[in-house]
Amino acid sequence: MWSTLLLLASLQPMSQNQLDIHKIYIVGLMLSEKQQENAEKTEQPMQQSSQASGYILYGI
């Protein structure tokens, strides 16, 4: 997954705006992974991960 993102980022030249959008996308992915780990540890409902997917949708 990460290698695909990095490959896409390295293949095409990007403007600064596109780079910022990719940063937001990657941060969103990291947030969602952390929240899923936390949810698995504490056995909480899936409300946290749905919040994180909002970040990912914003980053696309």
Q: For the chain, what is the domain count?
A: 1
Q: According to the model, what pLDDT value does residue 60 have?
A: 44
The answer to the question of residue 43 being in a domain is yes
The answer to the question of residue 45 being in a domain is yes
The answer to the question of residue 20 being in a domain is yes
**Predicted TM-score (pTM) of this structure:** 0.36
pLDDT in tens, 4-52: 666 666 666 667 677 777 777 777 788 888 877 777 776 655 555 555 5
- The secondary structure of 19-37 as a DSSP string is HHHHHHHHHHHHHHHHHHH
| Residues across the chain | 60
The answer to the question of residue 32 being in a domain is yes
Cβ–Cβ under 8 Å, residues 26 and 34: no
